[in-house]
Amino acid sequence: MSNLLEMTGISKRFGSVLALDNIDFDLRAGETHALLGINGAGKSTLVKIISGVYSSDGGKILMNGVEVSIREPTDAMESGIATVQQHPELIGSLSGIENIFLGQEGAGKGLLRRVDQELIKKKTQALLARFPIEIDLSVKVENMSSVEREIVAILHALRQDNIKVLILDEPTSTLTLPEARKLFEVMETLKRSGIGIIYITHRLEEVIAIADRFTVFRDGRKIVTGAKDGSITEESLSKLMLQKELGALYPAKRPQTDADGDILLQTRSLGVEGALEDINIELRRGEIVGGFGLVGSGIEVLASALFGDRRLDHGQILLNGAVQALQTPKDALRRGIFLVPGDRKTQGLTLTKNVTFNATLAHLGRASSRWGGWLRRRKNADTVAGLLERLELRPPHLWRNATEFSGGNQQKIVLAKGLFRQADVYIFLEPTVGVDLGARSKLYDVMRSLSEHAAILVLSSDFDEVCGVADRIFCLYRGRMSIPPSFDLARDEVLDGGLVGRRQ
């Protein structure tokens, strides 16, 4: 396979920080090349240089053997490079076709030009002739599945005939396993047409499943580029990225003793019409309880109900043995419950505000003076700095806006908000979506540390995560729960939908 893209001697510095140090990288026609590395390793900076967000301080970029100058995103597009971001921005009220050709709807010019439906239909037919993908693009995006929306974003990126390099940034972060498999089939179709794919992921099992080659970055340097073969495992990739074994990802579980901690939160036959039925769980001080469920299983609704953001149709929530009426999240916060939401960007953070603002937002009483209600800025900054030193925020810039941090560091800011709140019960919903291995390890350590004095509930569609971090486990399927204390769960069957067990 010939090289589509070649980069030699690429360097990038931000002030005193050398983000990329003399990097060589290449992408071949018809391959998937995975970029691996923890936050700050350099992979995101390299991709931003390829896509024209940053310009390099040194080195050369060649497309099909010809040197190109990429100083802005339009340069990348003209050179044949397109990017699909982790959370593609699509217009839900428009069809897939209309989203793909947004801005190219008519042959005329100007803001008042009419949409030429026949024109965009012809363009769609030509696009699907190049990339034969089975999808109904006449459907509104708001009615599509997650993987269908991802496919629309990919087709939007490929609508120009000259695109040969496609960058996919964490495309499976919100997909179920069957949806991810469908996306991988689409990627194979693109590869057969000669498209080269740069694939960014934190899921090492995906690298083994679909990547032809991989490159590992660490501290701004390229550690290795390798081809997939039988010797490559999740453990070996993890060691290259972290300089430690994958087994160290999860902290040690609590010792099995006869004495259990106090029950801090309990549900009795909790139900939400059409979503949950007869949910009975106990959260004790000193342990982590894990709840596994795929998208649509009810884990999101359970998190909302426990946090006062979803009305119960029947059942009860008890805190320290007393029945509670949680009408709003404010009620839950006052009673010592804190939710780390699954969507940190829209539910966990005010992205345009700085770290200190975000970390103190859930407990303004603690953040303000007793007299007059003025924010205690210096004291708050000192407190938040201590929390984020514990969480290893990188870089530790408290006055930088949340939007300027990576996904893993944004999750640390959300968790700092929970630590500042000093809750008794912490609920983590999909806690490590889009978070690299290094940040995941730190988050799991903090969960275990919190469990020494609080009750922890982890709700996740990542089966390995639930098994790795939790002391006790239950599974949700179509709103109902199963508790498998004496079962060895069959992983592949569970992930395909439903709880399947084998007696030990």
In the chain, where the domains are located: 3-246, 263-503
Is the separation of the CB atoms in 192 and 31 below 8 Å?
Answer: no
Percentage above 70 pLDDT, the chain: 91
What pLDDT sits at residue 175? 82
User: Is CATH 3.40.50.150 the classification given to domain 263-503?
Assistant: no
What pLDDT sits at residue 207? 93
Is the separation of the CB atoms in 47 and 198 below 8 Å?
Answer: yes
Residue 115 pLDDT > 80, yes or no? no
Please work out, in degrees rounded to the nearest 5, the angle formed at the alpha carbon of residue 153 by the alpha carbons of 459 and 105: 145
What pLDDT sits at residue 128? 92
Residue 103 pLDDT > 80, yes or no? no
d(CA 165, CA 223) in angstroms, rounded, equals 23
Chain centroid offset of residue 136 CA: 27
DSSP 109-139: -STTPPP-HHHHHHHHHHHHHHS-----TTS
244 band by pLDDT with thresholds 50, 70 and 90: low
Burial of 192 (0-12, 13-18, 19+ CB in 10 A): exposed
DSSP 341-393: -S-IIIII--TTSBHHHHHHTT-HHHHB-TTTT-B-HHHHHHHHHHHHHHHT-
Residue 408 pLDDT > 90, yes or no? no
Q: What pLDDT, in 10s, does the model give residues 473-503?
A: 999 988 998 765 444 444 444 444 444 333 2
Lowest-pLDDT range of 35-39, 184-188, 466-470 = 35-39
DSSP 446-500: HHHHHTTTSEEEEEES-HHHHHHH-SEEEEEETTEEE--TTEEE-HHHHHTSS--
d(CA 488, CA 472) in angstroms, rounded, equals 13
| Number of C-beta neighbours around residue 427 at 10 A | 27
What pLDDT sits at residue 186? 96
Average pLDDT, the chain: 87
Tell me the three state secondary structure of residue 10. strand
Domains 3-246 and 263-503 share a fold: yes
Give the pLDDT mean for 107-134. Answer: 78
Give the pLDDT mean for 316-326. Answer: 94
* Positive or negative: CA dihedral 113, 117, 123, 127: positive
What pLDDT sits at residue 493? 46
Give the pLDDT mean for 242-260. Answer: 69
Give the pLDDT mean for 250-259. Answer: 70
Which long-range CB contacts under 8 A does 462-469 form with residues at least 24 apart? 462/430, 462/432, 463/292, 463/489, 463/491, 463/494, 463/495, 464/491, 465/290, 465/431, 465/432, 466/290, 466/291, 466/292, 467/290, 468/249, 468/250, 468/444, 469/250, 469/251, 469/288, 469/290, 469/444
113 band by pLDDT with thresholds 50, 70 and 90: low
What pLDDT sits at residue 209? 92
Q: What pLDDT, in 10s, does the model give residues 328-374?
A: 999 999 999 999 998 888 889 999 999 999 999 988 888 887 776 78
Peptide bond into 88 cis (omega under 30): no
Give the pLDDT mean for 58-63. Answer: 95
Lowest-pLDDT range of 109-123, 195-209, 340-354, 478-492 = 478-492
257 band by pLDDT with thresholds 50, 70 and 90: low
Q: What pLDDT, in 10s, does the model give residues 445-473?
A: 999 999 999 999 999 988 888 988 999 99
Is the separation of the CB atoms in 12 and 217 below 8 Å?
Answer: no
Q: Which fold has domain 3-246?
A: Rossmann fold (3.40.50)
What pLDDT sits at residue 358? 94
